[in-house]
Amino acid sequence: MKSMEEMMQAAQKAAETIQSQMNDMQAKLDAIEVEGQSGGGLVKVRASAKGRILGVEIDESLMKPEEKQMVEDLVAAAFNDARDKADRVSAEEMKKIQGGMGLPPGFNLPGMG
């Protein structure tokens, strides 16, 4: 049987490993790019899987003063689409890391989903 000290050292090492994996995952998510679209591709928003907005592209055909409200709505919809895709990619990556830790399905560590 392991001593209490050995068990504490093992727990500390496991916590450090998890923290390291989480840091690696956050960096990986910030490097994965998703694109949200609206208006049939007239408005596009690029974002990292971590949710950082990288760019916005608006088709020139929408650049008319009378189209202002529609453009604003399309930009909001494209942002939401990008955020949804980022959330899905993030969840998939978190499942991979949790599976690598041997955690049971549905078990959530704080900060992991």
pLDDT tens-digit readout, 30-64: 899 999 999 999 999 999 988 888 999 999 999 99
Q: Give me the half-sphere count of Cα atoms (radius 13 Å) on the Cβ side of residue 25.
A: 20
Query: Among 3-7, 59-63, 83-87, 105-109, which stretch is predicted with the lowest mean pLDDT?
Result: 105-109
pTM of the model as a whole: 0.64
Domains in the chain, number: 1
Q: Is 73 helix (H, G, I), strand (E, B) or coil?
A: helix
Task: Residue 95: give the domain boundaries.
Answer: 30-100
Q: Are 23 and 55 in contact (CB under 8 A)?
A: no
Q: Are 31 and 46 in contact (CB under 8 A)?
A: no
- Which CATH number does the domain housing residue 38 bear? 3.30.1310.10
Is residue 24 one of the residues assigned to a domain?
Answer: no
Confidence at residue 93, expressed as pLDDT on a 0 to 100 scale: 84
Confidence at residue 7, expressed as pLDDT on a 0 to 100 scale: 86
Is residue 23 one of the residues assigned to a domain?
Answer: no
Confidence at residue 106, expressed as pLDDT on a 0 to 100 scale: 58
Q: Are 97 and 112 in contact (CB under 8 A)?
A: yes
